[in-house]
Amino acid sequence: MKQLLYLFVLVSAALLAFRNPKEKLFTIPKKWPKPLYDFSQNKLSEAKIKLGRALFYDPLLSADNTISCASCHSPYNAFTHVDHDLSHGINDRIGTRNSPALMNLAWKSSFMWDGAIANLDMQSLAPISHPDEMGSSIEKVVSELNRSALYRKAFYQAYGDSLITGEKTLKALSQFMLSLVSSDSKYDRVMLKQEQFTEQEARGYSLFRQNCAACHREPLFTNDAFANNGLPVDPSLNDCGKMKISKKSADSLLFKVPTLRNLEYSFPYMHDGRFKKLSQVINHYVSGIQHSKTLAPELQKPIILSSNEKVDLLAFLLTLSDKNFVFNPDFAYPKDFFTPAAKD
């Protein structure tokens, strides 16, 4: 009997030792809500995430092989566009909106600044087909992928079938994007009592909770809703936000509340990238709010901050930077997928 017990302990120990540390492909960070994405319809696997990552970085997805998803969603900028206010697509065509930073997408109920897309799987269709973005079509992308031996092999490894379809392509892209979880900022470590805010950051945190947290709700720093945060309309774009989709006047100038994680890397800010610096954003909330019919109730009463308090708030916002996310080698350009020979 005792021997049996020893055997049991030995076997369990061996099993534990050989467990792949990457086995858990998606973990819900402590104290976070349940994700909204339905993983049961798109079961994560390492091979699919790897495939999705290759697709994300491959300009094959654009009409003239020049633009990849990463052109507008660069990892080092928390997956938003480098330096442009409005996104640039093929032939340097300029879109009408700023590309959002991509992270924690499993917790979003809708996508795009106006919520036009209800499911992450379908999101990739938009840039692939948009004439100002990648200017191609999913039909064309799938037929090109089917022509590539590299991808036929990768799809085979991921799905056990080398026939490439739109469904498999889009699901793989979703898998990579779902893996982009940012939950290791100083703020997170403070919440887990592993670190402490400086006095300034702590003051900023309490200002944040008074003035901003209703919309930029912790821990995701967005309530996943739409609001008019008082930005004056840019007459050259005339973007009415959610109203374009719902056709209801009550939705005029409502935009999705973005997350505030990794702001340090994701400039410029707002749906049209009108602010380059966080200090401009804070000044907007303090002295730039434009009153209109749909202005959010939370912003009807002026937010009054002294110059010191503005600096405190800014210091807090910078605690949301997650270096390990931005520089995570698992999220970067997959060199060894595209040039297997260079793997040494």
Token reading at 324: 């390990």
Q: Which residues contact 104 (CB under 8 A, 6 or more apart)?
A: 180, 181, 182, 183, 220, 259, 261
Q: Which does 38 bind (CB under 5 to 8 A by kind): ligand HEC, another protein, none?
A: another protein
Q: Which does 67 bind (CB under 5 to 8 A by kind): ligand HEC, another protein, none?
A: ligand HEC
Among 69, 142, 164, 180, binds ligand HEC (CB under 6 A): 69
**Distance, CA of 329 to CA of 133 (rounded, Å):** 26
Among 132, 150, 123, 139, CA closest to 58: 150
How many CB atoms are located within 10 Å of the residue 72 CB? 24
Amino acid identity of 146? N
Instruction: Decide whether 42 or 99 has the Cβ nearer to another protein.
Output: 42
Q: Which residues ranging from 42 to 61 are in contact with ligand HEC (CB under 6 A)?
A: 56, 61
Residue in the structure block whose two tokens are 């093929």: 90
Residue-by-residue DSSP string for 274-292: -BSSHHHHHHIIIIIPPP-
Site string for ligand HEC, 110-139 (x = CB under 6 A): -xxx---------xx--xx----xx-----
Give least dist CB 296 to ligand HEC, A: 3
Taking contact as CB under 6 A, which single stretch among the options 91-99, 154-162, 197-205, 336-344 is the one that binds ligand HEC? 91-99
Residues that bind another protein (CB under 8 A): 38, 41-42, 116-122, 125-126, 128-130, 137-139, 142, 165-168, 170-171, 174, 245-247
Cβ proximity of 95 and 102 under 8 Å: no
How many CB atoms are located within 10 Å of the residue 258 CB? 20
Site string for ligand HEC, 150-189 (x = CB under 6 A): -----------------------x---x------------
Cβ proximity of 92 and 74 under 8 Å: no
Which residues contribute to the site for ligand HEC (CB under 6 A)?
Answer: 56, 61, 67, 69, 71-73, 87-89, 95, 97, 99-102, 105, 108, 111-113, 123-124, 127-128, 133-134, 173, 177, 211-212, 214-216, 227, 229, 231, 255, 257-258, 260, 263, 266, 269-271, 281-282, 285, 296, 298-299, 303, 313
